[in-house]
Chains A and B, each alone.
Chain A
């Protein structure tokens, strides 16, 4: 099945939950990433119970703390 992760088409063999998807895409700092599924925020405590499905649009938003 195909989903989009940060705009990039990603092919998955089976439906996975958000925690597994973070591992698959080798997300940096998975504990502090903000996740959106189809324009809705997914709470951290719902990562394991939230599964991605064909055509889902997933956004991983990362902290960026620099500036000076």
Chain B
């Protein structure tokens, strides 16, 4: 399907790029991205994907908008406080770009539902915008098991990290971090704080990876962990080997189905 005149105008800065062009923009319009968590990371990631014309965006979140979210979760506005985050996110996307179809999942991802959510629209790419380790391992394992590429990210205080998993192309999150740390062993943003823009920097990198994957251009953060320190303004790209002993993607996997780890008490709302 050719781009309409309005789409040619809206996406003209994409179309003019030789790595994108009209064909690439059509790929973006046909693509499907699932964003899990519409918070610090998910908010900017979703907004850039919507602006870019990612035709189908799935939003997963079980929470409602809280006043303390607005310092960083830019997809939600002051008037949205109390509203379901997926609803608020959907409204922002609809206002930004009528080309986008939004599917909302007003629920928490669990071992019981995550594969169904990923398979629901046969999403092309998954973005992990969650805030706790049980969810991060759940998303990793579900993406490895269902063979979906995904972007991991984490932020805390003035630091962030991100890596991209592509099935068969490199290590997964569990190759690097074997299992979730015990509850409260590693602080969360709620306990330690986070500079609001950290989600903007890292979440936008996640959206960049999703767009590159959809377009099939450039080099992804597959086999690398990118770390960012805002205080020293340093980015580092650390090479990651694949871990043969990985419990989910190694030679003898023992995690054959997604696992519900006990949620960190501090993440309970």
Contact = CB atoms under 8 A, between A and B. Distances in A.
Interface string B35-73: 001011110000000000000000000010000010001
A7 B236 contact: yes
21 contacts: A6-B238, A34-B176, A36-B238, A36-B240, A39-B239, A41-B241, A64-B156, A64-B160, A65-B133, A65-B186, A66-B189, A67-B41, A67-B42, A67-B129, A67-B130, A67-B189, A68-B42, A68-B63, A68-B73, A68-B130, A68-B189
A40 B130 CA distance: 28
Nearest to A32: B181
Contacts of B39: 67-68
Question: What's the interface size class on A, roughly?
Answer: 10 to 19
Interface of A: 6-7, 29, 31-32, 34, 36, 39-41, 59, 61-68
Given A31-B185, A32-B186, A34-B176, A64 B238 contact: no
A59 B240 CA distance: 10
A39 B181 contact: no
B32 interface: no
B210 to A, nearest CB: 16
B40 A68 contact: yes
B258 interface: no
A41 B42 CA distance: 30
Nearest to B37: A68
B136 interface: yes
